[in-house]
A and B are shown apart, each in its own frame.
Chain A
Amino acid sequence: MKLPVYEVLIIGAGIVGAACAAACAREGLEVGIVEADIVGGGATAAGMGHLVVMDDSEAQFALTRYSQTLWRRLSEQLPADVEYDGCGTIWVASDADEMSAVVQKKQFYESRGVPAQILDSHQLHEVEQSLREGLPGGLLVPEDAVIYAPCAARFLVEQAQSRGAQLHCPRVVTEIAPDGVRLNDGSSIVAQSIVVAAGTWSTRLFPGIDVRPRKGHLLITDRYPGFVRHQLVELGYLKSAHSFISESVAFNIQPRKTGQMLLGSSRQFDKDSSEVDHPMLARMISRAEEFIPNLSRLSAIRTWTGFRAATPDKLPLVGPVPGHENLFLATGHEGLGITTSLGTAELLLNQLLRRETEIPAAPYLPGRVYEGVHA
Chain B
Amino acid sequence: MASRPAHFDVLIIGAGPAGIAAACCASESGARVGLLDNNPQIGGQIWRGESQHPSHIEAREWLQKFASAKIEFLASTEVIDHLEPGRLVVQSVGMQSGDDVRELTYRNLILCTGARELFLPFPGWTLPNVMGAGGLQALVKSGLPIADKKVIVAGTGPLLLAVAAHLREHGAEVRLIAEQAPRHRLARFALSLAFERAKLAQAFAIRRQLSSVPYKTSCWPIRATGEGKLETVFLRTGAHTWQESCDYLACGFHLVPNTELAALIGCELRGGFVQVDDSQRTSIAGVFAAGELTGIGGVEASIGEGQIAGYAATDRSGSTASLLPQKQRLDHFASLLKRTFALRDELRSLPDSETLVCRCEDVKFARIRNHSSWRDSKLHTRCGMGPCQGRICGAATEFLLGWRADSVRPPVFAAPVQVLAIAGSSQSQPDLVSHEEFR
* Chain A residues engaging chain B, CB cutoff 8 angstroms: 38-41, 45, 81, 150-151, 154, 170, 219, 221-222, 258, 263, 276, 278-283, 285-286, 289, 295-304
Name 7 interchain pairs, CB-CB below 8 A, sorted by A. Answer: A276-B410, A278-B420, A279-B427, A283-B425, A299-B416, A301-B387, A303-B411
Of B96, B386, B417, B438, chain A has the most CB atoms within 10 Å of the CB of B417
Is B389 close to A, CB under 8 A? yes
| Size bracket, chain B contacts | 35 or more
Q: CB < 8 Å: which of A81, A278, A289 contacts B423?
A: A278
Is B324 close to A, CB under 8 A? no
CB closest residue in chain A, given B418: A296
Given contacts A45-B379, A279-B424, A289-B421, is CB(A300)–CB(B438) below 8 Å? no
Question: Scoring B residues 406 to 418 as 1 if CB is less than 8 Å from chain A, else 0, what string do you get?
Answer: 0001110011111
Contacts of B382 in A (CB 8 A): 258
Q: CB < 8 Å: which of A150, A154, A279, A304 contacts B425?
A: A279
Is B375 close to A, CB under 8 A? yes
Contact call B380/A81, Cβ cutoff below 8 A: yes
Known: A170-B372, A300-B414. 10 other contacts (CB 8 A): A41-B379, A81-B380, A221-B417, A278-B410, A279-B425, A281-B410, A283-B438, A289-B418, A295-B417, A297-B416
Contacts of B385 in A (CB 8 A): 302
Contact call B409/A282, Cβ cutoff below 8 A: no
Contacts of B376 in A (CB 8 A): 38-39, 41
Of A40, A45, A219, A285, chain B has the most CB atoms within 10 Å of the CB of A285
Given contacts A41-B376, A41-B379, A286-B438, is CB(A300)–CB(B420) below 8 Å? yes
Contacts of A298 in B (CB 8 A): 416-417
Contact call B96/A282, Cβ cutoff below 8 A: no
Contacts of A81 in B (CB 8 A): 380-381
User: What's the Cα separation between A283 and B411 when bound, in Å?
Assistant: 16
Contacts of B45 in A (CB 8 A): none
Is B56 close to A, CB under 8 A? no
Contacts of B380 in A (CB 8 A): 39-40, 81, 150-151, 154
Kindly list the 6 A-B residue pairs having the minimum CB-CB distance in the complex, ordered from nearest: A282-B424, A296-B418, A278-B424, A285-B421, A282-B425, A150-B379
Contact call B375/A38, Cβ cutoff below 8 A: yes
Is B98 close to A, CB under 8 A? yes
Q: CB < 8 Å: which of A38, A285, A289, A301 contacts B372?
A: A38
CB closest residue in chain B, given A222: B387
Contact call A299/B96, Cβ cutoff below 8 A: yes
Is B373 close to A, CB under 8 A? yes
Contact call B421/A282, Cβ cutoff below 8 A: yes
Contact call A299/B420, Cβ cutoff below 8 A: no
Contact call A299/B424, Cβ cutoff below 8 A: no
Contact call A282/B423, Cβ cutoff below 8 A: yes
Contact call A303/B410, Cβ cutoff below 8 A: yes
Contact call B387/A299, Cβ cutoff below 8 A: yes
Contacts of A280 in B (CB 8 A): 424
CB closest residue in chain B, given A297: B416
Contacts of B427 in A (CB 8 A): 279
Contact call A296/B389, Cβ cutoff below 8 A: no
Min C-beta distance of A85 to chain B, whole Å: 15
Contacts of B437 in A (CB 8 A): 283
User: What's the Cα separation between A170 and B419 when bound, in Å?
Assistant: 39
Question: Scoring B residues 353 to 384 as 1 if CB is less than 8 Å from chain A, else 0, what string do you get?
Answer: 00000000000000000001101100111100
Contacts of B424 in A (CB 8 A): 278-283, 285
Contact call A300/B439, Cβ cutoff below 8 A: no
User: What's the Cα separation between A3 and B425 when bound, in Å?
Assistant: 56
Given contacts A38-B376, A302-B389, A304-B409, is CB(A219)–CB(B417) below 8 Å? yes
CB closest residue in chain B, given A154: B380
Q: B234-270: which have CB < 8 Å to A?
A: none
